[in-house]
Structure 1
Amino acid sequence: MAFPTKASLSYSSSGLLNRSLCPCGGNHLPQGHLQDQMTYDHWQFAESMPQSPTDLIDDLIKMGVYKPQVLQLADTLTQVEFKEALLLRQISGGNPAREKLCRALIKEAGGLDQAMTAAFGVHATEFFSNTIRNSDFSRRDFLKKVAVAGALIAMSSCAQGNQTSTTQAVADDAPEVDGLEKTDLRIGFIPITCATPIVMSEPLGFYEKYGLNASVVKMPNWAAVRDSAIAGELDAYHMLSPMPIAITLGLGSTAFPIQLASIENINGQAITVAMQHRDRVQGPEDFRGFQIGVPFPYSMHNLLIRYYLATGGLNPDTDVQISAVPPPDSVARMTAGDLDAMLMPDPFNQRAVYEGVGYIHLLSKELWAGHPCCAFAASQAWIDENPNTFQAVNKAIIDACAYANDSANRETVAEALIDRQYLNQPLEVVQAVLTGNFEDGLGNTFNEPDRIGFDPYPWKSFAKWISSQLVRWDLMPEAQADYASIADDIFMTDLARELSESLGQNPPSEENRVEQLKFDTFDPANPDAYVEEQIEKFNV
């Protein structure tokens, strides 16, 4: 569910037009009667444009201004959004700061169509006459729309000469890519910060760097991702890390072999409690009777909340009610009183704080520092048919993980994620998650740089812990719990290491490690004993 932002940038038309610099950011020498607005050649370009927004976009397409992958946005955007996305892509060239300026201008004008129609539409003269007869506010509003349209066109006309975008910077050091079986890809994702490497690889050019024309496709929930994967409607997917195990083994669905290629994120989740319980909840024992939301039964979120509740003596199947809630619906459900608490992916924990409906009780890294959450996955059949393409897209994502994991890049990454076709969230919410500088909703401010991390290495010990908890909570029959085989057959640790090394990274040489959690230690050499110890210790 989308929520309106509380604050946005605001640029007045007069503020823009009084600048001597061109709106594109270039320092061009002004000429002619428009020296306070834009260069004369830009204005001539604007005046030569077609007289309707649709024709304008059509002409720019015919001129070859837009690359084919940009046109694929039409598959997921409405006509108005499509036009806006095309223009913004052309103007910004992947530069988040320039695109933010354009979005602020469009918002100031009341929308791209309104600005373009006022400036170039067939009824522009009639609109202008009407404004003359109306109030000063109407005249100012009309002129503002005209000014915004002119500024956007001017920015578009000179963007080609001034682009120094992140996309270009990434593409400049692109390796030679040969033998790709397929280049046009559809990769499904859920709009959460866990999807950062998969999502940002489109606007920041990581797919393009490896010869891929990949479009990320927003999905409504995890069941839809699973069903689309089985139906072959997607080439690859953003999945919760337990999902490849569950789908491969036929837990909750038809058995369909899926490979977990790389981890997308570690940490990055939180337990959020509705504000009406702020004085009641101190620890896991205080959740008794709560309605608790998680994104999917086969999720780290479900396993971690069960792990936490059990340490307080609660039986997650009888003392609380845990239900699957699509992450984009979670804040609305908490606002409506349907959820007392949730262990959700971000940015929705931070969004609950932003909306004043909940507070962050615990970050998931406090339960298990470095725990896996989401992953990049593809079907075994698709990998077998497209081995080179699969390695290329996996390499792009591993490369993107390294970029996103660098704290110096987090602001740029946040800018790339907030668009409507991606996370559709306020910038300050996404920045709070990615930078770790955040408020908890109770008046406290924290600096937790590792609130979320992007380490792609798929430790086989991750698979074994996940499988042990699926057994513990009767989500997997004990007879299917061949822990070593599950880890070896589904987690592609060797390939992830090989691709990381080819990028100059230093991945671990080991496949397993002892995992240190808040309340116990997991030895991947003996998962059965671990489950027995948990049950004995907490009597659940």
Structure 2
Amino acid sequence: MNRRALLATAATLAAVPRIGVQAQGSSAPEVRKATLGYIALTDSAPLIIAREKGFFAKHGLPEVEVSKQASWGATRDNMVLGGGAGGIDGAHLLTPMAYLIHTGRIVQNGQPVPMALLARLNTNGQGISIAAKHAALGVKLDSAPLKRAVNADSKVAMTFRGGTHDLWIRYWLAAGGVNPETDVSTIVVPPPQMVANMRVGTMDAFCVGEPWNAQLVNQRLGHTALVTGELWKDHPEKCLAMRAEWVERHPNAARALTAAVIEAAQWCDLPANKEEMCSILGRRAWFNVPPADIIGRMRGEVDYGDGRRVTNTDITMKFWRDHASYPFRSHDLWFLAENQRWGILPMDLDLNALVAQVNREALWREAAERAGVPAADTPRGTSRGRETFFDGKVFDPENTRAWIESQPIRRAQGA
């Protein structure tokens, strides 16, 4: 998507009619319903809890549906359809997907579907797991030992090309000198199918959210090399994203929906609520997994499956703490820069202009006020500044090109 296409998308977004606005001064939602998609991953908890604990209803949206999706590809397809055509209005989404849909990079015929990113759903909480057949290598935070056992046919799974899990495992492999483009074969596997695919012995490693890394360990099918908070502490992960048309037609409802998710995120982060949260998520209607596969890592208790056991609540999944819910624009820039690094987005794309179109942090602030969040508890700016990774590299959101060029392993278009 070049500058001309980017401007065309902006024009499309600006042309969306604002027909849902109510009488001046009214803050009541224009509608009572929205359909939101989710994947069976623990970081969808704010949407599920907002439904189960009545936060959507509290904010005037009692008919919100939270609908399970089979894969990220299905989520994309249903987002393109939209709620009015039997799809979904928004979703628990891999953050880069909001941008890849918005630019048309992953949409049939390359047709952009304008998107609005309303909130981050979590930070941290993903994992990279290694098959039991490679236990002797002792693979941990350094991926270099894996190079001795893999080749171009070795299968390394993630959940969606260009999504967060793809970027985490690529970054980790490349940092250890393993080229994810040539030294292994990266494949797409839906999150709930990761463990089953590892069981049949066809995969060497995968990156996915919880509870699937913990379940792999519990079933003695492999070990966790690292949790992603070790790769980048408090890294951004999933987001709440909506079709921009829905947000523009229903601005009050968008604020109310985001306020409900903010309150649910606060609820999810209270230690006293962790057990109930995991019990809810484990139900057949939601994940259909034993709560025991969820609760440990939600408390920061990590059994890596290779003899290491730690308790570290600072690198576990966060829903609200440390501004986990706020959609920092600087974090979106990192995701876009990494998609440029791996050739998914072109190098001539104006990243700041794109983030300005999609990221609705101003709406998040309005929703936080509606949810009763004190102004002192919200970030002062839209950037979290320079970020340091486990390998010592520093990402400066003011210079994304320099970040890409500092990476010895990359596949950038026009770099």
TM-score range, shorter chain: 0.7 to 0.9
Are 1:489 and 2:348 matched, yes or no?
no
Aligned to 2:52, what secondary structure does the other structure show?
coil
Q: Please name the residue that 2:113 is paired with.
A: 256
Q: Please name the residue that 2:395 is paired with.
A: 522
Residues 328-372 of structure 1, C-alpha deviation per residue, up to 9 Å, x if partnerless? 000000001121111111110001011111111101011101111
Q: Please name the residue that 1:353 is paired with.
A: 217
Q: Please name the residue that 1:179 is paired with.
A: 28
Q: Please name the residue that 1:195 is paired with.
A: 44
* Structure with greater helix share of residues: 1
Give the Cα separation in 1 of the matches to 2:258 and 2:116: 12
Amino acid paired to 2:379: P
Counterpart of 1:211 (choices 60, 73, 79) is 60
Could you say what the CA RMSD is over the residues aligned between the two structures, in angstroms? 1.9
Structure 1's consecutive aligned runs of 4 or more residues displaced over 4 angstroms after TM superposition are: 536-540
Give the Cα separation in 1 of the matches to 2:398 and 2:294: 38
Q: Residue 405 of structure 1: CA displacement?
A: 1.8
Contact 2:158–2:187 (CA under 8 A) maintained in structure 1: yes
Q: Please name the residue that 1:531 is paired with.
A: 404
Counterpart of 1:452 (choices 302, 317, 320) is 317
Contact 2:326–2:361 (CA under 8 A) maintained in structure 1: yes
Counterpart of 1:238 (choices 82, 85, 92) is 92
Q: Please name the residue that 2:3 is paired with.
A: none
Counterpart of 2:72 (choices 222, 225, 237) is 222
Amino acid paired to 2:388: Q
Counterpart of 1:267 (choices 113, 124, 139) is 124
Contact 1:193–1:346 (CA under 8 A) maintained in structure 2: yes
Give the Cα separation in 1 of the matches to 2:205 and 2:387: 27
Percent identity for Structure 1 against Structure 2: 30
Are 1:284 and 2:133 matched, yes or no?
no
Counterpart of 2:291 (choices 415, 419, 427) is 427
Q: Please name the residue that 2:339 is paired with.
A: 470
Q: Residue 285 of structure 1: CA displacement?
A: 1.9
Greater C-alpha Rg: 1
Amino acid paired to 2:91: Y
Give the Cα separation in 2 of the matches to 1:182 and 1:197: 21
Give the Cα separation in 1 of the matches to 2:354 and 2:233: 23
Give the Cα separation in 2 of the matches to 1:367 and 1:305: 10
TM-score relative to the length of structure 1: 0.65
Counterpart of 1:326 (choices 173, 190, 213) is 190
List gaps (5 residues or longer) in structure 2: 1-25
Contact 1:461–1:515 (CA under 8 A) maintained in structure 2: no
Amino acid paired to 1:499: A
Give the Cα separation in 2 of the matches to 1:366 and 1:216: 31
Amino acid paired to 1:255: P
Amino acid paired to 1:495: L
Give the Cα separation in 1 of the matches to 2:411 and 2:225: 22
TM-score relative to the length of structure 2: 0.84
Q: Residue 391 of structure 1: CA displacement?
A: 1.1
Aligned to 1:266, what secondary structure does the other structure show?
coil
Contact 1:204–1:416 (CA under 8 A) maintained in structure 2: no
Q: Please name the residue that 1:415 is paired with.
A: 279
Contact 1:311–1:538 (CA under 8 A) maintained in structure 2: no
Q: Please name the residue that 2:5 is paired with.
A: none
Residues 474-524 of structure 1, C-alpha deviation per residue, up to 9 Å, x if partnerless? 0111122x1211222111122212322442241101111212211211110
